[in-house]
């Protein structure tokens, strides 16, 4: 008899623990619920006095200064993953600022001939523009120009300066 009661007790404890862990919320779910509840507010209907919940919509406001330059490797116009992430953010800014047109300026470091750097700067600007067009920014809102090595961001003559100068920048038209 005592053995049956012990078995029942163990079985009940095991089932209770399974039930408790099976119903536990995952951390991501808890975080989402916390975020959701913090974004909800209560308001009282003045006609009926009933309390209702409304979601607060957060509006993100962008400005031209949110457009970020992208950098390139030496003698390259290939977009690296970091540059693609930056361009995706820039695309979101341009989509939000629907009336804004931008000029994408391609730049190079001082190494190489003037002609070569002008061509490379144009390819860099075009690469940025083409990628943003694939993200939904109309090409009609973007233009490109190359300054080659004519407008360095850093006037130094070392690898650090050259890395800063190999870039594409976004300027509002």
> Does 146 score more than 70 pLDDT?
yes
Question: Is 83 in contact with 170 (CB distance < 8 Å)?
Answer: no
pLDDT on residue 4: 65
What tens digit of pLDDT does each residue of 24-80 get?
444 444 444 434 334 444 444 555 555 555 554 444 566 777 899 999 999 999 999
Question: Is 73 in contact with 80 (CB distance < 8 Å)?
Answer: yes
pLDDT band at 2 (very low <50, low <70, confident <90, very high): low
> Residue 171 CB: number of other CB atoms within 10 A?
13
Q: Which domains are seen in the chain, by residue range? A: 75-172 (3.30.1330.60)
Give the pLDDT mean for 139-168: 96
Most confident of 3-7, 14-18, 128-132: 128-132
Question: Is 71 in contact with 166 (CB distance < 8 Å)?
Answer: yes
What tens digit of pLDDT does each residue of 77-127 get?
999 999 999 999 999 999 998 889 999 999 999 999 999 999 999 999 999
Q: Is the pTM of this model over 0.85?
A: no
pLDDT on residue 33: 42
């Amino acid at each position: 008899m005592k053995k049956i009661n012990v078995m029942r007790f163990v079985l009940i404890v095991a089932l209770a623990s399974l039930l408790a862990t099976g119903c536990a919320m995952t951390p991501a779910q808890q975080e989402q619920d916390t975020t959701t509840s913090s974004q909800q507010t209560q308001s009282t209907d003045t006609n009926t006095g009933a309390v209702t919940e409304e979601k607060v919509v957060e509006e993100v406001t962008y400005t031209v200064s949110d457009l970020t330059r992208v950098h390139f490797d030496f003698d390259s116009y290939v977009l690296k993953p970091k540059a693609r992430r930056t361009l995706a953010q820039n695309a979101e800014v341009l989509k939000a600022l629907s009336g804004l047109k931008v000029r994408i300026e391609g730049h190079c470091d001082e190494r190489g001939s003037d002609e070569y750097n002008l061509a490379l700067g144009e390819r860099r600007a075009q690469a940025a523009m083409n990628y943003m067009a694939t993200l939904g920014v109309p090409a009609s809102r973007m233009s490109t120009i190359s300054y080659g090595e004519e407008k360095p961001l850093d006037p130094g003559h070392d690898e650090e300066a050259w890395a800063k100068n190999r870039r594409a920048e976004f300027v509002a038209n």
